[in-house]
Amino acid sequence: MGTPRVAIVGAGPAGVRAAERLVSASFRPILIDEAPRSGGQIYRRQPANFTRTYRQLYGFDAGKARALHQAFDRISAAIDYRPDTAVWNIFGNKLYTVSDGRADEVEFDSVILATGATDRVAPVKGWTLPGCYTLGGAQIALKAQACSIGRRVIFLGTGPLLYLVAFQYASAGVDVRAVLDSSPLSAQVAAAAAMAARPSLLARGLYFRAHLMARGIAVHNGVMPVEIHGPGRVTGVRVRLGDGTTVDIQADAVAMGYHLRSESQLADLAGCNFTFDERSGQWAPQCDDAGRTDRAGIYVAGDGAKILGADAAETGGRLAALSVMKAAGMAIPEKEAAVLRRRLAAFERFRRGLLTGFPWPQAMIRSVPDDVLLCRCEAISAGELRHAAREQGAPELNRAKAFSRVGMGRCQGRYCGCAAAEILAGSLGVPVAAVGRIRAQAPVKPLSVAVVSTSLS
């Protein structure tokens, strides 16, 4: 038997480290990413003709970014790297890809799904106005193109990315009007002991906050967003502060997000079992700490398996590679696996702290007014989803989707799905786990009908 064919989807920290480990064991993995260059979200590379330094681009993470890029460059001749290539389906032992409008198929014996995460967003009145971005979108504008989303920017939501991106914008000279965190300060204080599992990250978070405040930027906790103002485009935000007062803050752009959600649709299409994680309130592909799912040959790693951050993604990628090697009958250095597993355990403790300190604002989302747009692709309001629950008897998310079209558009519920589940559960008076999750459908990323028809013919 020859060397097994191994495919990796995602060239971020998880995918690159998985590929590197496999190359060191004489595999030649196929590394596929829809992005033009390797690095993933955190270590996204700038376009080739841009000249910002690592320090300017990645700040405290400059050393890690350089190390990951160098690792990729070292192995690039030993892998089959396919940038600008999106995987839109997985069926049996084939990945269905599209690159530059051309469909292709990639057969594999094992596949590591290292597809990362996206922002977890929640609707608020006015969030569809031009000038309102996700936190990740705002960061990508800065990191990839050195652009700001506006001149006077408000940061709204919760999670470490809220403070990080606000810090990056302030450092780039943008007028950051306010950082509005829905989590109470008391939750963050309560979580400090768990977050101390990674002291440097905890210190960094405190530094970002202190730096913003020292610049005179208002940082509020326990905030409830009421409305993003227009008309025509963002002109400001109205929020209720922790002390119950309502304030209006002027701005021409808003970046918002409530932590992250895993990109797990390919694992779903591959038939992997999913379990509900009470702490994060999200469904995740069931896997062991070495990335093995319940489907033979299907492995998950990095944020696409569980939101644990970039260092954990590198560790998870290496562990998934070891699992692939073991399945291929190779001897695994047990010491290496044990060290990686121990590291993951510390990341897990930190994750628990983050989820305590920056909780998903369940009550806030359940109380979103009926007229607020929930599903942007299909223009469905929160009230229309509630109607599907109460008047049409939708007991779970997929039935509600069929009745209301929530989650049926281009994004396939990747952006509205978390909030839709919460609003539906609130409407039915049940825990969010009881309404399930929107089942993945191919194509997981928008593509033209012409591509689908060529790949079916």
* Residues engaged in binding ligand FAD (CB under 6 A): 9-15, 32-35, 40-42, 86-87, 114-118, 136, 139, 161, 164, 260, 263, 302-304, 309-310, 313, 444-445
Query: Toward ligand FAD, which CB reaches closer, 219 or 310?
Result: 310
Query: Toward ligand FAD, which CB reaches closer, 118 or 282?
Result: 118
Min CB(143)–ligand FAD separation in Å: 8
Min CB(246)–ligand FAD separation in Å: 31
Min CB(34)–ligand FAD separation in Å: 4
Query: Toward ligand FAD, which CB reaches closer, 14 or 344?
Result: 14
Min CB(135)–ligand FAD separation in Å: 7
Q: Are 304 and 263 contacting, i.e. CB atoms less than 8 angstroms apart?
A: yes
323, exposed or middle or buried, with CB in 10 Å at 0-12, 13-18, 19+?
buried
Cis peptide preceding 199, ω within 30 of 0: no
CA angle 351, 354, 355 (to 5 degrees): 90
Token pair belonging to 186: 């008391």
Query: Toward ligand FAD, which CB reaches closer, 82 or 229?
Result: 82
- Total number of residues shown for the chain: 457
- Return d(Cα 196, Cα 92) in angstroms, integer: 43
Query: Toward ligand FAD, which CB reaches closer, 27 or 350?
Result: 350
Min CB(72)–ligand FAD separation in Å: 11
Min CB(252)–ligand FAD separation in Å: 22
Query: Toward ligand FAD, which CB reaches closer, 264 or 427?
Result: 264
Min CB(43)–ligand FAD separation in Å: 7
Query: Toward ligand FAD, which CB reaches closer, 229 or 414?
Result: 414
Strand order in the sheet with 218-220: 132-134, 253-258, 152-158, 175-181, 218-220
**Which residue from 426, 369, 373 is spatially nearest to 397, judged by alpha carbons?**
426
Q: Are 329 and 4 contacting, i.e. CB atoms less than 8 angstroms apart?
A: no
Q: Which DSSP state fits 2?
A: -
- Return d(Cα 372, Cα 404) in angstroms, integer: 15
